[in-house]
Structure 1
Amino acid sequence: MGNVEVAWEDVISVIQMMRTHLIIIGIAFVCMIAALIVAKRWKKPMRGLIRWQSVFAFVLIVVLTINSAVTGTIYNTLNVILSDKGELKPEHVENSRRVVEEVTNEGIILTKNEDGFLPLAPQKINVFGWASTNPIYGGTGSGTVDTATAIGILQGLENAGFETNEELSELYEQYRADRPAISINDGQDWTLPEIPAAEYSGEVLDHAKDFSDVAVVVLSRTGGEGADLPYDMGPVMDGSTMEIGTKYMKGSYTNNSDNYDDFEAGQSYLELSRTEKELVDMVCDEFDNVVVIYNGANTMEMGWTEEYEQIKSVLLCAGAGSTGFNALGNILSGEINPSGKTADTWLKDIHKAPYFNNIGHFAYTNTEDVTAAAKAAWEKADGIVSFVNYVEGIYVGYRFYETAAQEGLFNYEDTVMYPFGYGLSYTTFQQSMGDLQVTDSAVSVDVTVTNTGNTAGKEIVELYYTPPYTNGGIEKSSVNLAAFDKTDLLEPGQSQTMTLTFDVEDMASYDTYETGHYVLEAGDYEISLRTDSHTLVDTRNYHVAETVVFDENGTHNGDVQVAERQFDFAEGDVTYLSRKNGFENYAAATAKPVDFELDGIVQGNGTYDPAVFNHADDVMPVTGAKNGMELYDLRGADYDDPRWESLLDQVTVDEMVELIAFGGHQNAAVGSVNKIRILDTDGPAGVNSSTLGAFGTGFCSEVVLAQTWNLDLAKEYAEAMGLEFADFHIVGWYAPSMNMHRSAFGGRDFEYYSEDSVLSAKMAVAEVEGAVESGMYPFIKHFALNEQEINRNALCCTWSTEQAIREIYLKPFEEAVKSNPDGKIAVMSSYNFIGTDWAGGCAALLKNVLREEWGFKGMVISDYFGNYGYMDADRAVRGGTDMMLGTAGNEAIMTDLSATSVIAMRQAVKNIFYTTVNSSAYENYVPGTIPNWLKIVYGADLAAAVLLAGLEILVIRGYLKKRKIDSAE
C-alpha cells in the first residue's frame, strides 16, 4: 500500500462528497447577498434588521450544513484525520531501537573473509563510497524509515570504537547531501552519486593512506513501492523510459562524469556502475586490506569481489532501520559474531536468471478492443493492459539452480555466487545428523552442532528434502527446504542438540494436470542436512510405500476442504519451464514474450454490472432491527454463533455501505450496534502514517529479519512494533508483507522475506504471532502474486501455473492463516490481476481457497482504493473483499443495493465485526465513547448557538430601541 500516492484524489473525492453541501452554502450566500441588496429599499431601522437577519440566516445555514457533513457525509474521513492518538512512550522507543539492533546483529551476512581478516580491533579506518554518508535504512512508500534519529554507517562504526576518515566523509557530503528520490508519483531518479576516481586528489589519497592501511568500500542500491529496479539501464540513461506511457516506468539518471556514461545499454542496475568500478580499482590499487559492504536488499552481482586479492572481506547489510548500523560496527569489531545467512540465491550474472526475460513492461496490443467497455479503466492505466508471465513455474530461486545444475543445464560454480542459506562466521562449526524419527504424520531428526573454533557464535541448521521425480511427471525441485533452527550462542567447544521436525505432508506436490490435488508420490525421499542449499553435510532416507492423494479421503496440511483446481484460468497460453528431459524447453520457456494479444476481457469498472449476477430468488435481509444487542456482546463468540444473525439484523444498509467504503486507516464506527471506530495503518518498518500523523521507530527491513533465520527474533520484532502501535491507539497493521522475491529487481524486495516459500512462511507465522500477542490484527499482504511494481495499476495480468501459485506464492499466506484459526488476523488483497481477474475481486482466491479451503474467518481489505478504474467495490465484495482501503470514499461506495448485494455486504460486515471485536480494541471497551474531535465540534456548536442567540437579542433590542426613538420623533 502507498500512503502518499493519491492525496490529491482524496481531496477531490471529499469535495465531490460535499458537493450538495457546498451547493446549499452557495445558494444561501447568493440569497444573503440578494437580501442585503433588497434591504436598501427599506428605511432605517428595518434596513439594518433585514441585513442582520440575512447574515444570521446565512451563518446558521452554514453551521447546520457543515454539521450535517461532519456528522454524516465526511464523518468517517474526519474520524481518521482527527482521531484521538496517543504518544510514544520513551521506554517503548528504547525497546524498539534495541530490537532493531539485535535483529541486524544476526541479519548481516559475512560472505568472504580471507585469512580471517575480520574482525578488526577498533582502530582508524578509511570509509570510501558516497553511500557511507547516505546509506539505505529501509525502502520507500509505506516502508520509509525516518532518518532524522537513525544511526548511519559512520556513526555505527564510531559507536563501536572505530575512527573514520572525516576528510573522506566531508568530500562525499559536499558532493551530494541528499539521496536521489524514488517517488511513486514523479518517477525515479536512479542516480548513484559517486565521485569519479579521477577527482580524488593525490593529497586526499595520501592522507587516507597515512590515516589507515584499511579501506572499507560502501555501495548501495535501493528500491521502493511503485518502481522495480531497472533491468536495462539503457532506456534510463537516454530517457526513453519516459516514452512508455505509464508513470511507473518513468526514470532518470545523471552521470557522475562528463567523460563517460555510468551505465551502458544492456547493463542492469544491479551491476557496478563505471564510476563504482573505477572507485574499487582505485581503492584496491592504494590499499592491500579492503572490506566491501553492500547496503541493499536486492541481490546485486558480487562476482567482482573475487577479482581483487586486496578485497579480504565482504559484508551484506540491507536496510538497517533506526539502529541497525550499530550492528555493522559490532560485527566489524568482533563484538558480535556474524550469524546471518542469505534468504536468496545471489548470481554472478543476473541476466541468466530464468525470469529475466519476463519481468518489466509488457503491454497487450489489442487493448482497445478487449477493453472497449472499460474505457475509464483503460485510460486511467494510461491506455495499457499489461501482463507478466511467471514462466519459471515452481523453479524459483535455488529450486531452479540446484535442480538445473543436477540436470546438467549449467555449471553451478560458474553461475551461483552465494547459495541460498549461505553465510560465514568468525568461528567454525561441526554438524552431525542423527537417525530419522518417524511417526505417521511427521519426520524428526536430531542435529548436534559443535563450535569447533575459538570464538563464541550462533549457527543455523538447515534441513532439506529431495523427492523422487518421474521424467515428465509432476514438477519437482531436487532440493527443498523442510525445516531450520538456530542455535543459542555457543562458546568454543560447546555443543547443542536440536530437533528439527516437519510434516510428511510438506513433501507433497500439487498435481495440476492429473488428479488436481496434492500428491505424495511413492518412492525414496532423501532428507539432507546442509550448510546451505548446495553444500551437503549428511543424508538419511525416508521411504513412502504407496502414493497418497490428498482428496476427500484426507485433506492436505489441515485444509478445511479439499484443495482442488481453482486457477485454471490463470495459466493462460504460456510455456512454463519444465524439468522434463533435463529442462529441454528452457530456451523456449524463458524467452521474451512473443504473444501480445489478449484472448479475453480484462474486467474494469465499465465491464462489471452487478445486476447481471443478481439472483432473483434472493430475499432482502432484515436491516435496521431493534434487537437490543451491541457488538461487544459477541466478543469471544464462535464465528457460527446464531446470535450474529440477530446482531447483523440491526445494521442498516447505509451503515454497511459506510463501513465497507471508509476502510482507509480506520475501521469505522457503526452506531446501530455501538461499534467503536478503530485505527489501522502502515507499515512494514513500523508506524508510518502521514494520514494519521503518526510516526514511530524505523525498523530494519524484512530481508534483514529473514536473514537471521531466527523465529524468536521475528516474534520479538513484531512485539516491539506492537507496543508502539498501542501507544498510538492503533490496532490494525498493514503488514507483514509476504510476497516472494521472484526477481532481484523487485522494488519491494526489501519489504518481503525471501525467494523461498518455507523460510517466508515460518518468518510470517512468527511475526504474525508476535503481532497478535501484542494486540494488533495484522493485514498479511499482498494477496496474491504481487511480485512486480511496474504497471501494478495498469491492469497487470499475472499468469502462472496452479502448482506454482500454491507451492510458492500462496504458501506463506496459507501457513499464517492456518496458524491463526480464530480470526485474529486480516488479509490485504492486491492490485494485480490473476489471469484477467482482479485479485481483490477473485472469488477463487478470496473465497474458495482463503475461506473454504483454509478456514479463514477474518476480514479482507483491498489495497489502496485509488480510483484506478478497475477496483470496483461491488465486484470486490461479491468476490470476497470485505472493506475498501480508502479514506474519502472515492469509487469505493457500493452502488448496487439489490438483495444479492446486501447479502454480500452483510457477510462482509460480519467478517469485519468478527475480527475487530476480538481485537485488543475491545479489551477496555467503554460504551458510548464519543471521539474528542466530535466533542469539540459539539462544543463549538454550543458556543456558536449562544453567540448567535446573544447577537440576535442585541440586534432585536437595537431595532426596537431605534423604532421607539423614531416613533417618538
Structure 2
Amino acid sequence: MSGKRSKKKFRIIMSVVLSTLLLIGVAGNVALAYYSDVITAFFNEIDIESPEAIEAREHSQVIAEQISDEGIVLLQNDEDLLPLSTDGNRVNVFGWSFTDPVYGGTGSGRVNADTAITPRDGFANAGFEINEQLYEDYVSLGMERPLIDMDGQDWSITEPIAADFYTAERMQQATEFSDTAVIFIARSGGEGADLPRVMDGPDTFDPQGSAFGATGSRYGHEDDLDPNKHYLQLTNREQDMVDIVTEHFEDVVLVVNSSNTFELSWVDDYNEIKSVISIGGPGQSGFNSLGKILAGEVNPSGRTVDIYTRNLLDAPAITNFGDFNYILENEDGSYEQAFDQAGVPLKYVDYTEGIYVGYRYYETAAEEGIIDYYNEVQFPFGYGLSFTTFEQEVVDGSLSWDDTEISFDVTVTNTGDVAGKEVVQVYYSAPYTGNIERSARDLAAFAKTDMLEPGASETITISYQVEDMAVYDYDRVYSNDGAYVLEEGEYGVYLMQNSHEVIEEVDSRDLSQVVFDSGRSTDEQAPVNQFDEYVMGEGSIATYLSRENGFENFDQLVNHEEFTVTNEDGEVQVLRGRIIDPSFVDVINTARYNLPEDTQSDAPTTDADNGLTLTDFTDVDYDDPMWEDLLDQMSVNDLVNLTTLGGYRTYEIESVGKPATVDYDGPSGITAYISNSPVSGIAFPAGVVLASTWNIELAERMGEAVGAEGVAYGTTGWYAPGANIHRTAFSGRNFEYYSEDPLISGKMAAGTVSGYESQGGFVYMKHFALNDQEENRTNAVLTWSNEQVMRDIYLKPFEIAVKEGGASGMMSGFNSIGTVWAGANPSLLQEVLRNEWGFRGTVITDMYIGDFYPYMVYEKAIRNGNDMMLTGVAPMGVPEADTSSNDNLWAMRDASHNILYTVANSRSVDDDLSTEMPTWVVITIIVDILLILAIAAGFYFTFRKKKNNNEVTAA
C-alpha cells in the first residue's frame, strides 16, 4: 500500500509542477502579447553609438551646460569674494556630498548620470586644485548616498560625526593647504514621497524592499534625529561641520546642491560665509558650470523661482500639506478610518491658502503691514546677483496701453566691469475690492538679455495682454456662471529687480470693470464654473485664506484634528483628519465606481473597408469628416488595444496603417526608467534649474535637443514636461517642476514643448492637475480647492503650454479633484482642456496597475476624456474593457480619434508597420514548442500504464 500511496503522491506532485509550468507559459505569453510592440522596440538593435546618436548627445550636452551656466543662482557675495582666483589657487571643499552629489531627482524623472561631470571634475576643469587629501579622507569613509526611491526613503543626511572626522590634525592640514573653504551641502528628492518636516521617527526602512525598490522610511543617524528640525535644514552633524569650518576659515563659500528651496537663515550667523550659490540638480554637466562661476569664467545670471523664507514652515500652505484622513465616528464614540468600497483609504488635502502661494502671500502680507518683510524673507522671488552691475530704465515715450495690450521698451545697460546677462522682470498690482482675492504683486512678463559687454546696452520690448490681469470670479460676484474679470480700480505696472524691489513704476491707470463673459481672446469656449459639482458640499473646505482685514482668518486655516483609531490588525494609530458622515463615502464610491446607463442605442461602425491609412491624415483638420471613414475601419479589438495598451508606447493598428510608437520618460531628458532599455538621454538640469535661467529660448533649445535625441533613438512620445506648482518647499517632485509661479512655469513648459514637437515628436505634460504633493497621490487623494485658485494658479501653466506651446498630450494625475479622479473628470479633460483651451491631442493616465489603483476605472476614464491607459506590468496592469456597452465603444472611438490625430501629426506616421516577425517572437515560439513537448512528455511518463503493475507496487 505504501508503494501505491507513493505513486499517487508522485503523480499529484508532478501534476502540480507540470500544470504550474503550463500556467506560467500561458501567462508569460499573454504578457508578451500585451507588450509585443514595446518588447520589439526594445529588442531591436538601437545603435546608441551611431553618428546621429552621438551628435544628438553631444549637442544636448552643450545645451545642458548652457542651462546650468544660466540657471545657477548667486544668492550672496559679500566683499566680492567671488569669483575666486584660479592662478595657482587651492580650495578646500568640506562636506561628504561633494564626493557623491545630487544630479537631479529620483523616480520616473531620473536620468542616467553615470557619465556626468562630477564636482571634482568641474573644479579641476575650471583650474582649481582641491585638497585631495581631504577628498580622499571623505571617500575612505565608505559612505553611500542614502536611497530615496518610490517605494522607500532613507532620509539620512550622509556626513561624518564632526568630532571624529574634523580633527585638529585634519583642519591644520586644510588651513595649510588653502585659506579658502567651500562648504558643499546636498539634498535629494523624488517621486513617491514628500520631504520630511520632522527629522525623527521609527526606522521602517528595508533595503531589500519590494520588487521595485526599498520600502519604508528612515530619518537619520541617531545623533541627527531631531523632532525640531526638517529635511531642508542643517542636520546636527552638518551644523557641527559648519561651526568647525568657520572657526578655521575667514573666506567661505556655501554651495547648496538642492532643487528644493533650502532654509538658509543660519547663514546670517556666520560672517565667514560670504558667498552662497544655489545650483539645484545641475544634471549631466552642471558641475562644469559651478566651476566656471567660481572662477569667473561664467557670470551668474540665474534668478530664484521660489521665494526663500527664513522659516519654510511659516508658509500658509504648510498648514494643510501632508497626510490627512477622513474619519468615521462610531455609535460608541470610537473612531475608524474611512475607506472606499475597493479598500482604498480616503485621504484629502486642502488648498486653504488659496491664491497666496509663495511670494504672493509674503508680498501681500508686507503690503498689508502684517509682516516685516525681511524678517520673514531672506531672498525674494526673482532674486539673483551678478559679478557686474546693470541699469534698467523704461524708454521714454515707448509705453502703449490700450484696451487690449500693454507694451513698452526697457533699455538694459551693463554698468560694471565684466560681461553678463540680465533678467527684465515686470509685475503688476491690481485693486483689492474684497470681492475676489488679489495678491499685491503678480509676475506679468519677463525677458533675458543677450550677453552684454561692459558699457553695452540692449533694448527689450515687453508686452502682455490687458486680459492677462483678469482673475476668475468663481463666487459669481460679477457673473451668473463664473467668468474672468477685471475689477474696477487702479492697476499699476512696475519694472522690478525681483518680486519686492521696484526699479521704476511704468504707469498706473484706473480701469473700468470688464467681465469676459464671452471668454478671453484665447478661449475657444467661454469659461464658466466647471468644478462646483466636485468641490462644493460635504468634504470641501470651509475657509480659504483671505486678504480681508490683513489676513485675519489666517488662524482658521487648520481643517483637521487628531483622532485615535484602531485598525483591523488591532494597531492603534493617531491620524490627522476630519469626521465625515458615512453617506459621503457613498458619494465617493458613486463618483469612482458607478457607471451610468448607456445612452447610445447603436454601436459604432467597425471593420469597414474604406481603403484609408493614417498617412492620408497628416495635417487633416481634427474636425474633418474624413476621420469618420478612417475610424470606421477599426475593429473592436483595435479600439480596445489602442486605448488600453498605452504603457511607454502607442499600439500598432494595422487596419488603419498606424505604426507603433515608443514613448519614454522623463522631464530631465529621455530615460528608460521602467523598461531598462539601453536608451538613456543626456541628463539635463532639473526643471527648477531651467526655470531659474528665466530664458525661454533656452527652454526651446532644450526641447529641440531632447527631440533630436528622440529621433536618433526612435522615441516619439515624451512623458514631459512637468508643470505642477511648488506649493511648498517639501514636495518630492519639485525638482522636475519649474516654480511656485504659474506664469514662468507655463512659459518654460511652452518653450520646451514647442522645441520638442518641432522635431516631430509629441509630449505628455504631467501631472494634470493639482497633483502638487506626493503624499497619498496613489490613494487618489481628494484635492479640495476653488475654481479661482485652480484656474489662476494650478491650471495656468498647462493652459499656457497648450495655447502658446501647442502641447499635444497630457498625463492625468493619480489624485482626485474634489470627489472625482483627475483621470475621469470631464470638466477638466473635456470642458476646460479641450473645449476652452482648444487642445487637440491625447490624454494618458499616470501608471495604471488595476490591482493597486482600483479607483482608476477604465470605463470612467475613457468616457470622460482620458484616451489611453499607461499600463504597467502585464497582464495585471491592463484593464478588461467591457465591449458590450455601446457607450464604451463610442468613447473608445473618440479616444482613438485623439490618439490617431496625435500620431498622424508626428514623424512616426511615416514609419513602417512591423510586418516581419521579430527575432524575439521566433525565439519565444521555439521555446513554447519545446516547453509544450516537455510538458506533454512529463504527463505521458507520469500517467502511462505499466505492463506489470506489481513491479511498481513493490518498488
Task: Name the TM-score, length of structure 1 as normaliser.
Answer: 0.86
Q: Does the alignment pair 1:533 with 2:499?
A: yes
Which of 844, 869, 872 lines up with 2:854 in the alignment?
869
Q: Does the alignment pair 1:166 with 2:132?
A: yes
Q: Does the alignment pair 1:114 with 2:78?
A: yes
Partner of residue 290, structure 1: 252
Instruction: Give, in angstroms, the shift of residue 30 of structure 1.
Output: 6.8
Q: Distance in 2 between matches of 1:100 and 1:602?
A: 49
Partner of residue 385, structure 2: 424
Shift in CA distance, 602/639, structure 1 to aligned 2, threshold 3 Å = farther
Which of 706, 716, 720 lines up with 1:721 in the alignment?
706
Q: Distance in 1 between matches of 2:787 and 2:139?
A: 51
- Bigger CA drift: 399-408 or 66-75? 66-75
Q: Distance in 2 between matches of 1:176 and 1:68?
A: 44
Shift in CA distance, 608/254, structure 1 to aligned 2, threshold 3 Å = closer
Partner of residue 654, structure 2: 671
- Bigger CA drift: 574-583 or 932-941? 932-941
Which of 891, 894, 911 lines up with 2:881 in the alignment?
894
Deviations 1:250-289 (A, max 9, x none): 421342xx6xx32421321111111111111111100011
Q: Does the alignment pair 1:332 with 2:294?
A: yes
Deviations 1:235-254 (A, max 9, x none): 367999xxxxxx99942134
- Answer whether contact 1:291 1:314 (CA < 8 A) is retained: yes
* One-letter amino acid matched to 1:621: P
* One-letter amino acid matched to 2:898: N
**What secondary structure is seen at the aligned counterpart in 2 of 1:326?**
helix
Partner of residue 716, structure 2: 731
Give the alignment of 1:77-476 within 5 angstroms.
Answer: 78-79=39-40, 81-82=42-43, 85-88=46-49, 89-122=53-86, 123-235=89-201, 250-255=216-221, 261-366=223-328, 374-378=340-344, 384-434=345-395, 435-470=398-433, 472-476=434-438
Partner of residue 965, structure 1: none
Partner of residue 907, structure 2: 920
Partner of residue 555, structure 2: 587
Q: Distance in 1 between matches of 2:45 and 2:136?
A: 44
Question: 5+ unaligned residues in a row in structure 1: which ranges?
Answer: 1-25, 35-58, 241-246, 379-383, 949-969
Shift in CA distance, 508/393, structure 1 to aligned 2, threshold 3 Å = same
Deviations 1:904-943 (A, max 9, x none): 1110111011001111112x43456446346745996999
Shift in CA distance, 529/62, structure 1 to aligned 2, threshold 3 Å = closer
Instruction: Give, in angstroms, the shift of residue 883 of structure 1.
Output: 0.2
- Bigger CA drift: 72-81 or 840-849? 72-81
- Answer whether contact 1:604 1:872 (CA < 8 A) is retained: no
- Bigger CA drift: 851-860 or 190-199? 190-199
- Answer whether contact 1:874 1:896 (CA < 8 A) is retained: no
Partner of residue 578, structure 1: 546
* One-letter amino acid matched to 1:769: S
Deviations 1:23-76 (A, max 9, x none): xxx99x979999xxxxxxxxxxxxxxxxxxxxxxxx9x9999799858855535
Deviations 1:797-848 (A, max 9, x none): 1111111100000001001111255xx6110000011111111111111111
- Answer whether contact 1:80 1:665 (CA < 8 A) is retained: no
Question: 5+ unaligned residues in a row in structure 2: which ranges?
Answer: 1-10, 207-212, 563-576, 935-955
Q: Distance in 2 between matches of 1:73 and 1:163?
A: 55
Q: Distance in 1 between matches of 2:548 and 2:527?
A: 25
- Answer whether contact 1:681 1:688 (CA < 8 A) is retained: yes
Instruction: Give, in angstroms, the shift of residue 719 of structure 1.
Output: 1.3
- Answer whether contact 1:425 1:457 (CA < 8 A) is retained: yes
Partner of residue 812, structure 1: 797
Q: Distance in 2 between matches of 1:773 and 1:429?
A: 35
Partner of residue 556, structure 1: 520
Shift in CA distance, 217/197, structure 1 to aligned 2, threshold 3 Å = farther
* One-letter amino acid matched to 2:849: G
- Bigger CA drift: 206-215 or 878-887? 878-887
Partner of residue 786, structure 1: 771
Q: Distance in 1 between matches of 2:823 and 2:866?
A: 6
**What secondary structure is seen at the aligned counterpart in 1 of 2:140?**
helix
Shift in CA distance, 63/565, structure 1 to aligned 2, threshold 3 Å = closer
* One-letter amino acid matched to 2:754: E
Q: Distance in 2 between matches of 1:395 and 1:62?
A: 57
Q: Distance in 2 between matches of 1:804 and 1:174?
A: 51
Instruction: Give, in angstroms, the shift of residue 198 of structure 1.
Output: 4.5
* One-letter amino acid matched to 2:624: D
* One-letter amino acid matched to 1:449: V
Partner of residue 748, structure 2: 763
Shift in CA distance, 709/609, structure 1 to aligned 2, threshold 3 Å = closer
- Answer whether contact 2:92 2:178 (CA < 8 A) is retained: yes
Instruction: Give, in angstroms, the shift of residue 93 of structure 1.
Output: 1.6
Instruction: Give, in angstroms, the shift of residue 187 of structure 1.
Output: 3.7
Deviations 1:873-929 (A, max 9, x none): 11111121100001425252323531111111110111011001111112x434564
Deviations 1:457-490 (A, max 9, x none): 10000000001111x2110011000000001111
**What secondary structure is seen at the aligned counterpart in 1 of 2:303?**
coil
* One-letter amino acid matched to 2:501: T
Q: Does the alignment pair 1:566 with 2:539?
A: no
- Answer whether contact 1:370 1:601 (CA < 8 A) is retained: no
**What secondary structure is seen at the aligned counterpart in 1 of 2:697?**
helix
C-alpha RMSD over aligned residues: 3.1
Q: Distance in 1 between matches of 2:219 and 2:358?
A: 30
Shift in CA distance, 83/505, structure 1 to aligned 2, threshold 3 Å = farther
Q: Distance in 1 between matches of 2:406 and 2:215?
A: 48
Deviations 1:687-730 (A, max 9, x none): 21141512222111011100000111111111111122222101
Partner of residue 566, structure 2: none
Provide the aligned length of Structure 1 versus Structure 2.
877
- Answer whether contact 2:782 2:817 (CA < 8 A) is retained: yes
* One-letter amino acid matched to 1:355: A
- Answer whether contact 2:486 2:514 (CA < 8 A) is retained: yes
- Answer whether contact 1:190 1:251 (CA < 8 A) is retained: no
Instruction: Give, in angstroms, the shift of residue 745 of structure 1.
Output: 0.2
**What secondary structure is seen at the aligned counterpart in 2 of 1:793?**
helix
- Bigger CA drift: 406-415 or 73-82? 73-82
Partner of residue 781, structure 2: 796
- Answer whether contact 1:355 1:590 (CA < 8 A) is retained: no
Q: Does the alignment pair 1:932 with 2:894?
A: no
**What secondary structure is seen at the aligned counterpart in 2 of 1:565?**
coil
- Answer whether contact 1:737 1:752 (CA < 8 A) is retained: yes
Partner of residue 675, structure 2: 691
Instruction: Give, in angstroms, the shift of residue 522 of structure 1.
Output: 2.2
Q: Distance in 1 between matches of 2:864 and 2:23?
A: 41
Shift in CA distance, 491/187, structure 1 to aligned 2, threshold 3 Å = closer
**What secondary structure is seen at the aligned counterpart in 2 of 1:740?**
coil
Instruction: Give, in angstroms, the shift of residue 635 of structure 1.
Output: 1.7
- Bigger CA drift: 567-576 or 837-846? 567-576
* One-letter amino acid matched to 1:630: T
- Answer whether contact 2:592 2:857 (CA < 8 A) is retained: no
Q: Does the alignment pair 1:707 with 2:692?
A: yes
Partner of residue 3, structure 2: none
Q: Distance in 2 between matches of 1:393 and 1:64?
A: 54
- Bigger CA drift: 581-590 or 75-84? 75-84
Q: Does the alignment pair 1:485 with 2:447?
A: yes
